[in-house]
Amino acid sequence: MPSASALLICFVVGMTDGDTMAARCEDGHGLKTYKVRLSEIDAPEKDQPFGSRSKRNLSNLCFKQPALLQAQGKDNYGRLLARVEFDGVDANASQVAMGMNRPSRGSMISRRNCNAHHEVLILPFTAGRARVA
């Protein structure tokens, strides 16, 4: 597992849901595939309303794209926690800005800041139900 501050050059090879992906990365010892949990955001589960839409949006943003991952440690499931950037776009903040995910507690991602550049605001899912403004 890379150090908590490592910057990894990767290629996104799979999607699990709206905040988890698989990425093939150069880690200094060759190529390795990591299960990556996008940090500071929370997505609905696949079987919850809006879950498949969140996953599809993340896939449309960065599947089969080169990406930079700013590692931030690992979660309780052993997944690499990271901020993900592709083509100069912050995937974590984009998911929030597009209403696909919500910021996690204590997150530096602010829904207000994310939506400053978007015309449509979709409020975060609540108790498994999506609300559209």
Catalytic amino acids? Answer: 37, 45, 79
CA 129 to chain centre: 20
- Nearest Cα neighbor of 42 from 51, 30, 33 is 51
Report yes or no: 2 and 80 within 8 Å, Cβ to Cβ: yes
Report yes or no: 36 and 22 within 8 Å, Cβ to Cβ: yes
